[in-house]
Amino acid sequence: MPQQEAEQFVLNQMDKDPLKWQGIHMIQAKIAFKKEQHLMRDFVSEVMHMHDDAGFQFCNPRPSVIQHFSFCQFLNSETTKIVGKLAETRKFSNLET
């Protein structure tokens, strides 16, 4: 298959995804399914980077930091919210009397 034709397959598939949710693997798989042409992952990645490098910067493939909270921390935060609400209602109730 000519390189220009393969590149056009990738670009057409990228145009069908305006939100840029499809990654390299998904575009590669859709081309293989619809066009029955298997393209190398490196080729698809190269074309995508060449024509839309901002899409890769938009999606950070590294996982964000996962914060673990203990049950006690959860209870303390909920207790603080409840106490804050009670204090607000008491302030307003004192003003009304």
20 band by pLDDT with thresholds 50, 70 and 90: confident
Q: How does pLDDT run across 42-57, given as a tens digit for each residue?
A: 999 999 988 887 777 6
CA distances from 82 to 12, 70, 86 (A): 54, 19, 6
pLDDT value of residue 19: 79
Q: Is the whole model's pTM more than 0.75, yes or no?
A: no
